Amino acid sequence: MRAVWTIFVKDLRVEWRTRETAVSMVVFGILVIFLFNFSFNTGREETLRMLPGLLWIAFAFAGVLGFNRSFAAERENGCLEAVTLAPIDPGSIFVGKLLANLVFLGFAEAVMVFVAALWYNFSFVPALGAFAAITFLGTLGYAALGTIFGAVAANTRMREVMLPALQFPVAFWILVLASDACSDALRGADWKVVWGGIERVAGVSLVFTVASFLLFEYVLEE
């Protein structure tokens, strides 16, 4: 437990001093939302219908950007060897890294949602609880996969291509189910429908989080 906390705080401290990951995620996400607005040139009704999907695409791209940094930074300075040599369980490294990734992506998502609400004159407030719950659950599974695949991709050439190639097909259902559920929640659908969506996102996210946690030790070994 202490190891998890140490890694988590270390990642936050590094981030606080460099301000690289979270800032680049935010900028990239805002750019995606901005480009989307002009490449489709949709009317208000259509935009609101597409908004959840658009947000999840922005989350997905921004996430991949951050997950790549997460382990690449460790590798560049040879820190990963030291971390693996430390007498701690690989699971703790995974959880610590996952928590840090969750915080960065969560921060970037909050900014993106705020910007989207401003630009599209859309209030998230009526469905904020359900929207936040779905986004948190979806982000958890997505970040868990990003953490393990980030570690895998750090061992490859062309990791900028490798990570999305691993991440998107596997995380496909998290993205689809989460943006579907967000769409239901924001549309003001019946509570039962929204709850069903939350359950599905939670189920799929949990499966991938547990699987990534269990498999992580095989990625770290040298």
Q: Site residues (CB under 8 A) for other proteins?
A: 145, 148, 152, 155-158, 161-162, 165-166, 168-170, 172-173, 176-177, 180, 200, 204, 207-208, 211-212, 215, 218-219, 221-222
Provide the minimum distance between the beta carbon of 107 and other proteins in the complex, in angstroms, as a whole number. 26
Provide the minimum distance between the beta carbon of 18 and other proteins in the complex, in angstroms, as a whole number. 25
Give 125's DSSP letter: G
SS3 85: helix
Q: What are phi and psi of 123, to 5 degrees?
A: -95, 120
How many angstroms separate the first and last alpha carbons of the chain? 24
Nearer to other proteins by Cβ, of 103 and 207: the residue is 207
Measure the CA–CA gap between 104 and 16, rounded to whole angstroms: 11
Nearer to other proteins by Cβ, of 33 and 174: the residue is 174
Provide the minimum distance between the beta carbon of 105 and other proteins in the complex, in angstroms, as a whole number. 19
Provide the minimum distance between the beta carbon of 110 and other proteins in the complex, in angstroms, as a whole number. 27
Burial of 41 (0-12, 13-18, 19+ CB in 10 A): exposed
> How far, in whole angstroms, is CA 184 from its chain's centroid?
21
Nearer to other proteins by Cβ, of 98 and 204: the residue is 204
Provide the minimum distance between the beta carbon of 10 and other proteins in the complex, in angstroms, as a whole number. 24
C-alpha distances in angstroms, 44 versus 40, 48, 172, 184? Answer: 12, 6, 27, 18
The alpha-carbon radius of gyration of the chain (Å, integer) is 18
Nearer to other proteins by Cβ, of 87 and 169: the residue is 169
Nearer to other proteins by Cβ, of 111 and 154: the residue is 154
